[in-house]
Amino acid sequence: MQVFKLFFKIARSRAKVLAIYMVLYMSIMLGFTFTSNHTSDANFTAAAMNLYINDMDNTESSKALTEYMKSLHKVKDRVLTETQLADSVYYRMIDYVLIIPEGYEARLAGLETEDLVTEMCVSGSGAAVFAGHQIAQFNKTVQLHVAGGYSITD
């Protein structure tokens, strides 16, 4: 109890200094708050990545996935070998390689969810996660339409 009383005795004797610090802190805080007129939503812009897509299925669904990814990112058009792809990913000239295997449309229509596409990317990179989520979103949307009774070409 003695320490508690002593604390308030010292605080009372230094009340003017504490009040000055509180006023300065509050004025600086309010100044920064009102001068910042940017919202967090206005600062975000989705970045376009460099992608390479190898479409082995060549069906309506795989072409739709390719067009969807082309609308979001920059897709490299030249044909590359597997070694060139690995080098391009390693040196970060290509952020993400999407390989659509044969039978993609049939597996998509059969509502399979595991291993629909094959990817090659730098392990754990943000680009890999970002592109992977976009591909999964496309696949789930198509599967929801199929489950709802629409044909896969709709």
**Is 0.75 surpassed by the pTM of this model?**
no
Cβ-proximal residues to 153 (8 Å cutoff; 6+ apart), any chain: 60
Q: What are 36's two structure tokens?
A: 């910042």
Nearest to 116 by CA among 134, 102, 133: 102
Measured between alpha carbons, how far is residue 110 from residues 24, 29, 100, 115, 150 in Å?
66, 58, 16, 13, 13
pLDDT by residue for the chain (154 residues), tens only, comes to 899 999 989 989 999 998 999 999 999 999 888 887 666 656 667 778 889 998 888 888 889 999 999 999 999 888 888 888 888 888 888 888 988 999 888 888 887 778 888 888 888 788 888 888 999 999 888 888 888 887 777 6
Residues 25, 31: Cα–Cα separation, whole Å: 10
Locate tokens 């009040």: which residue? Answer: 19
| Contact by Cβ (8 Å): 119, 128 | yes
